[in-house]
Chain A
């Protein structure tokens, strides 16, 4: 009995030591000679984070350029890659846009620098994103945006609604809410100009949009999951249960703060934006729940956004650049700082267990009523389909989505027609750009 206690105590101590030390650090190479690395990224406060790297490698200087997110960063990177000079050593690229940059031939295959040894440090589906052909590795995963449902607990309580766990329940709850609130409160909001948001919903249902086949491509924007998801949402929009305010717009924050939106689907980096955009308004009333499922009892999710770090062929010291990219996205110091300072939800497996993810004093967690929201997102991350692929002409696909959905919301196209048009026009664009694609 006593012996048993001692053993279990010992076991317990051993276990807790393991947990405390279980952060799996990446194996970083030596870097010889003095080097300056130029980094393009829109991660806030990155210029401070890299100081830690410079401490680790006193012979390496890291220069960070922050261009803000969005298209202008890509324009600059594209131009520099095309021009053959002027590109940085390391640059931030979102997963969906990665193939278009791989296609320029301007990215370094990191397997030369031992990238495959780091594969297990990252959440499995992110590795599929940075190594689309399963051989070459073109980037180090940085952050992810697994999908979950944010909702207003106060509204659910007020109208005595149950948090839906399936899409079927979600639609029924929407109807109840509409009746109970007299149409004043919308159940959700469809982001009509964000293709990745829609794709994440279809991704969660196993939807496949692009595939390599032999030496050509197959594009299936109108896949069965797409059709199912879009028809479902169009139904909710038509009935007036769901709004169509643009993401990140003044109108959306206004509606969300005023309690006119009961739920939405946001990536793991979303809650931070909610807290800071509404600055306390409606704070404490929000919660996060897993993404509703098509099959009851499932735990599938999709991903919206998230980025990786690429090394360009213009880098004079690609080995050092690769080491930096790995350190930035896998070391405990960097992953923790990037989460705290910039809200980056780690792609590193070990990062998902960091205590910092459940810091009760952080603004997002306070805004979400003290809930351990990142545990929900970490769980969602496990449910993201691993085999999802993008295509090099995705930027054009992304833009064309907004056009077709605009026509659908205005009633000029049915969901199936919108998807067919999306598929056809994107296919035409890809072919005109010289791709062999079906």
Chain B
């Protein structure tokens, strides 16, 4: 494939009207319908469940509502359990994920730019090394990572039990780097750089003023996917954070879910919390859909 525009051109759009004039055939509707049911069924169960209490959860059919409704009760409990720590966790998640999204998009953008626009010794080997490390399973790296954090702490950079211990490692995003490199390759022609250099622009100006606006789609894509990865990660925060008040939402919910001792079992309240916790992600994907789909296409077509 030759270079592809990250955003859809008008010509391509017109072409689509040609190939899209037919509606769905019955077979297609069947395929889409079945797949939609498959995708939605577990979510439907969640929606039904937040209307129930534990007793109803275990004694009424799972895919339909039971009366009386316990929705308000569940929502109230989620927000008041343990002095309303859920809100704190929600805010933490937003904060951490936003930091991871922005930081990861920026580091991937600068590094991707270097790989795309400069010749330097060991370029391909380094790129290969970075992509190659994703093949090592992370589960065996917990202790090494913890030891490194601890050494950094002794060297005067205390990280353990601060959000940084979770945020900084999450910024390393080899797939994001790969995607950003492709974006730079396709969206920012080298001639433009040469012309700007002749005009006397500094390398930093070329990158920030000229380049960055052209790779917006890529930035949003990497940011969004890093946001989701940060939001859903519970293993790293589990190892690195000790204070309950620092937890992100996914970790907090998993702790609630693991509480099998005690006099209070929280099944339907946890499902309610889980449903609330995925709403921001769904919202982000819906509003930013235009960008990230274009972004994925770039990565995909060039692959």
Contacts and interface: CB of A to CB of B under 8 A. Distances in A.
A and B touch in the complex (CB under 8 A): yes
B57 A363 contact: no
A276 B58 contact: no
A86 B146 contact: yes
A12 interface: no
Nearest to A253: B58
A272 interface: yes
Given A257-B59, A273-B260, A279 B54 contact: yes
Contacts of B265: 273, 276-277
Given A67-B238, A280-B55, A83 B264 contact: no
B260 A70 contact: yes
Contact of A67 (B160, B255, B261): B255
Contacts of B57: 250
Interface string B262-279: 111101000000000000
Contact of B244 (A66, A86, A248): A66
A272 B238 contact: no
B240 to A, nearest CB: 9
B162 interface: no
Interface in A14-54: 38, 40, 42-44, 47
A250 B54 CA distance: 10
Interface string A405-422: 000000000000000000
B146 A79 contact: yes
Contact of B262 (A43, A80, A86, A257): A43
B254 interface: yes
A65 B53 contact: no
Contact of B59 (A66, A254, A269, A363): A254
Chain A CB within 10 Å, residue with most, of B53, B142, B238: B238
A336 B170 CA distance: 43
B84 to A, nearest CB: 13
Contacts of A363: 263
A66 B264 CA distance: 15
B64 interface: no
Contacts of A67: 238, 255, 258
Interface string B142-154: 1100110010011
B124 interface: no
A38 B244 CA distance: 12
Nearest to A340: B263
Interface residues of A, number: 48
Contact of A342 (B55, B257, B261, B267): B261
A258 B57 CA distance: 12
A64 interface: yes
A107 B239 CA distance: 20
Interface string A266-283: 000100110111111100
Contact of A44 (B59, B153, B262): B262
Contacts of B160: 86
Given A79-B239, A86-B146, A69 B54 contact: no
A342 B263 contact: yes
A341 interface: yes
B157 to A, nearest CB: 14
B242 interface: yes
Interface residues on chain B, size class: 20 to 34
A179 interface: no
A235 interface: no
Given A269-B261, A275-B263, A68 B243 contact: no
Contact of A258 (B59, B257, B258): B59
A276 B54 contact: yes
Contacts of B261: 42-44, 69, 269, 273, 305, 342-344
B58 A257 contact: yes
Contacts of B255: 66-68
B238 A72 contact: yes
Nearest to A247: B260
Contacts of B267: 250, 277
A336 to B, nearest CB: 14
B256 interface: yes
A403 interface: no
Nearest to A252: B58
B5 interface: no
B55 A281 contact: yes
Contacts of B263: 44, 272-273, 275-276, 341-343, 363-364
A275 B53 CA distance: 13
Interface in B25-76: 53-55, 57-59
Contact of B264 (A44, A75, A248, A257): A44
A63 interface: yes
Interface of B: 53-55, 57-59, 142-143, 146-147, 150, 153-154, 160-161, 238-239, 242-244, 254-265, 267
Given A68-B258, A273-B260, 12 more contacts: A44-B263, A65-B243, A72-B254, A86-B150, A86-B161, A253-B58, A269-B261, A272-B263, A278-B58, A280-B55, A342-B263, A363-B263
28 contacts: A42-B258, A43-B261, A43-B262, A44-B262, A66-B244, A68-B256, A69-B259, A69-B260, A69-B261, A70-B258, A72-B254, A83-B146, A85-B154, A86-B160, A86-B242, A250-B58, A253-B54, A254-B59, A272-B262, A272-B263, A273-B263, A273-B265, A275-B263, A277-B267, A341-B263, A342-B261, A343-B261, A364-B263
